[in-house]
Amino acid sequence: MLIRRHREWEIPESHATPETIFLNRRALIGSAAGLAAGSLIGGGARAASEAALYPAPRNDSYVLDRPVTAERFSGDYNNFYEFGMSKTVLPAANALKTSPWTLKIDGLVEKPFEIGVDDLIRKVGLEERLYRHRCVEAWSMAVPWTGFPLSKLVALAKPASGAKYIRFETFMDKAIAPGQRVFYYPWPYVEGLTMPEAGNDLAFVVTGVYGKPLPNQFGAPIRIAVPWKYGFKSAKSIVKVSFTADRPKTFWEGLQSSEYGFWANVNPAVPHPRWSQASERVLGSDQRVPTLIYNGYSEQVAGLYKGMEGERLFV
Ligand code: MTE
């Protein structure tokens, strides 16, 4: 019989069998019931002027088929490998100083530039959207993100005609991010989209959640949300956005390309090599619900992949 040994960096199957994880988590939450709500908020010091921009007006075009996940569930069950492999990254993530924060725009653009996140927000404005989020580990949540369409950032960047992809890079600072000292990960965290994907209305740059600036564990001060793809496409704490002719090599693809690909569109019919993707555990509830193709956003995004049937669109 073939005994499969885990390599240290693999997401263990147990992360994808949320029954056990979920029950442990509930026990933890139960025993920590007295925990001050404020400790979930995390986040470094934020300028009062920034906080005044929240809550932003909600864009009602984005509706959910399920209740919003309470922050006490989504805010202490996070993937942020820079701060460790456990789901409880909150205390460690608070070491990240998120203000001031500069975003670098480079690659195939009219003129590379840097912009402070506060300036960027003032330039483009903010709105709130209710989005589903489906992790490749088969858990999900529904959250009110605050941010702006990625297409607005693309317009500011003025990409050249040769730009075919957009590449997102997370901060790199081994001194404060213990996960980045683990040598077998291909740091920094990198993700990417095609230009048509980046131009889709759903592709969102996120600066806040639950009506306030992003707490650190969610990827402060700026991340993306690509709700029709597995959650790992939504890179956190981004410092650089580059426009490229070639497809970026992404973090997870670099680590294990047989399990995590570039496209990573949600599809319940295509199992992960080590677990089913047919259903998902909704954070904060006892329910498992069926997973929907493109995480329920088929109408908005299926057209992006016409004629690409030969690609590994769902890994
Ligand atoms: N971005 C960075 N930089 N590092 C990470 O480890 N994890 C990804 C994604 N973005 C990750 C990241 C994964 S696997 C998921 S599911 C989501 O962040 C989790 O987002 P959340 O913690 O806000 O729920």
Residue 70 has pLDDT above 70, yes or no: yes
Distance CA 185, CA 282 (A): 28
Mean pLDDT score across all residues of the chain: 89
Q: Is 236 in the pocket of ligand 1 (CB under 6 A)?
A: yes
- Ligand 1: residue whose CA is nearest its atom 9: 232
Distance 81 CA to ligand 1 centre (A): 8
Residue 2 has pLDDT above 60, yes or no: no
Percent over 90 (pLDDT), the chain: 82
Q: How confident is the model at residue 13 (pLDDT cuts 50, 70, 90)?
A: low
Residue 84 has pLDDT above 70, yes or no: yes
Distance 83 CA to ligand 1 centre (A): 11
Task: Copy the structure tokens of residue 205.
Answer: 């740059």
- Ligand 1: residue whose CA is nearest its atom 13: 232
Ligand 1: which of 234, 238, 253, 281 to mutate, most ligand atoms within 8 Å of CB? 234
- Ligand 1: residue whose CA is nearest its atom 4: 80
Q: How confident is the model at residue 10 (pLDDT cuts 50, 70, 90)?
A: low
- Ligand 1: residue whose CA is nearest its atom 3: 236
Distance 228 CA to ligand 1 centre (A): 15
Task: Copy the structure tokens of residue 145.
Answer: 């993100």
Residue of 21 and 177 predicted with greater confidence: 177
Task: Copy the structure tokens of residue 102.
Answer: 């500069």
- Ligand 1: residue whose CA is nearest its atom 17: 231
Residue of 126 and 10 predicted with greater confidence: 126
Q: Is 81 in the pocket of ligand 1 (CB under 6 A)?
A: yes
Q: Is 235 in the pocket of ligand 1 (CB under 6 A)?
A: yes
Q: Is 16 in the pocket of ligand 1 (CB under 6 A)?
A: no
Q: Identify the pLDDT of residue 7.
A: 54
**Residue 277 near residue 291, CB atoms below 8 Å:** yes
Q: What values do phi and psi take at 124, rounded to 5?
A: -100, -20
Annotated binding-site residue numbers for Mo-molybdopterin: 78, 81-82, 135, 170, 223, 234-236
Out of 3.90.550.10, 3.40.50.150, 3.40.50.1980, 3.90.420.10, the CATH code matching 14-305 is: 3.90.420.10
Three-state SS letters, 250-313: CHHHHHCCCCCCCCCECCCCCCECCECCCEEEECCCCCEEECCHHHHCHHHHHHHHCCCCCCCC
Residue 26 has pLDDT above 60, yes or no: no
Kindly give, in sequence order, each residue whose CB lies less than 8 Å from that of residue 248, ignoring residues fewer than 6 positions away. 165, 167, 190, 191, 192, 242, 262
Beta strands at 238-244 and 212-213: parallel, antiparallel or unpaired: unpaired
Q: Identify the pLDDT of residue 188.
A: 98
Q: Identify the pLDDT of residue 16.
A: 66
Q: How confident is the model at residue 50 (pLDDT cuts 50, 70, 90)?
A: confident
150-157 vs 117-124: helix crossing angle, rounded to 10: 100
Residue 67 has pLDDT above 90, yes or no: yes
**Residue 204 near residue 224, CB atoms below 8 Å:** yes
Q: How confident is the model at residue 8 (pLDDT cuts 50, 70, 90)?
A: low
Q: Identify the pLDDT of residue 286.
A: 87
**47-56, 181-190, 295-304: least confident range:** 47-56
Residue ranges covered by each domain of the chain: 14-305
- Ligand 1: residue whose CA is nearest its atom 11: 80
Residue 46 has pLDDT above 70, yes or no: no
Q: Is 220 in the pocket of ligand 1 (CB under 6 A)?
A: no
Q: Identify the pLDDT of residue 23.
A: 31
Distance 235 CA to ligand 1 centre (A): 6
Q: Which residue has the tokens 């490998």?
A: 81
pLDDT digits (tens, 9 = 90+) for 131-152: 999 999 999 999 999 999 999 9
Nearest to 165 by CA among 45, 307, 263, 76: 263
pLDDT digits (tens, 9 = 90+) for 241-300: 999 999 999 999 999 999 999 999 999 999 999 999 999 999 999 889 999 999 999 999
Residue of 24 and 205 predicted with greater confidence: 205
Q: Is 50 in the pocket of ligand 1 (CB under 6 A)?
A: no
User: Which pTM value belongs to this model?
Assistant: 0.89
Distance 230 CA to ligand 1 centre (A): 10
Beta strands at 190-194 and 204-209: parallel, antiparallel or unpaired: unpaired
Q: How confident is the model at residue 33 (pLDDT cuts 50, 70, 90)?
A: very low
3-state DSSP call for residue 195? helix
Distance CA 222, CA 237 (A): 5
Distance CA 63, CA 153 (A): 23
Q: Is 225 in the pocket of ligand 1 (CB under 6 A)?
A: no
Ligand 1: which of 68, 80, 255 to mutate, most ligand atoms within 8 Å of CB? 80
